[in-house]
Amino acid sequence: MAKKPEKQPTPLEYAILGLAAGGPQTGYEICRLFEETPIGVYSSSPGSIYPAIRRLRAAGLIADAPHPDNPQGSKKVLRITGEGVATLRAWLGAPVSREDVERRMEELMLRFAFMSGNVSRAVIARFLTRLKTEIDAHVGRLASYAEAASLHMPPSGALALEAGIDSFRDRARWAARALDAINNAGEAEAPAKRKGAA
């Protein structure tokens, strides 16, 4: 358990790690998920997935499950390791930075997607709160840029910028709604500290 340069996994590797955290998977199952479900906005295809699996295995974040009864070769079942869980949780719990919002929103949403079951409700709530704060700040910057520059832009340029601002605003509203949903779901499960409405 030593001798790892401690390099941060790529988003694709985190995605695979997150899938493995939901239960043992084979490489082929992971390929299928990337092909057939909306998670696959993040690339797909065996050519990127199998090398990513190999890197995760080399880093000790996943391991081959003891071959159930397969002779070998075909059907290797992957299981996340303790260190893998720790790495995944560190990623999920990392602060939401301005750069994340400006240039890595997709990765933020991928992070969020894997949170339930892997981090506490408090961590999820903190993520959403911080996400909304950072998005609001970014929308402010974009709006003032648009105000200053829209007139000197070609119409389609201004409209494209508007689309970007809109989508950040929309995401901020979603974050607020998601926070409510998480809190309500949590209250229903937990011993119920307080009840407002049904």
Q: How far is the CB of 92 from DNA (least distance, A)?
A: 18
Q: How far is CA 102 from CA 79, 98, 117, in A?
A: 34, 6, 27
**Under rule CB under 8 A, how many of the chain's residues touch a second copy?**
37
Output 4 or 103, the one with its CB closest to a second copy.
103
**Under rule CB under 7 A, how many of the chain's residues touch DNA?**
27
Q: Which two tokens stand for residue 15?
A: 């995605």
User: 68, 29, 63: which is closest to 49 by C-alpha?
Assistant: 29
Is residue 66 a contact residue for DNA (CB under 7 A)?
no
Is residue 27 a contact residue for DNA (CB under 7 A)?
yes
Q: How many angstroms separate the CA atoms of 110 and 15, rounded?
A: 7
DSSP state, 26? E
Is residue 171 a contact residue for a second copy (CB under 8 A)?
yes
Task: Return the amino acid letter for 111.
Answer: R
Q: How far is the CB of 131 from a second copy (least distance, A)?
A: 11
Q: Which two tokens stand for residue 51?
A: 């090398």
User: How many residues are present in the chain?
Assistant: 198
| Footprint of DNA on 33-62 (CB under 7 A) | 43-48, 50-55
Query: Is there a contact between 47 and 14 (Cβ–Cβ < 8 Å)?
Result: no
Is residue 7 a contact residue for DNA (CB under 7 A)?
yes
Is residue 77 a contact residue for a second copy (CB under 8 A)?
no
- Which residues make up the interface to DNA (CB under 7 A)? 7, 10-13, 26-29, 31, 43-48, 50-55, 71, 73-76
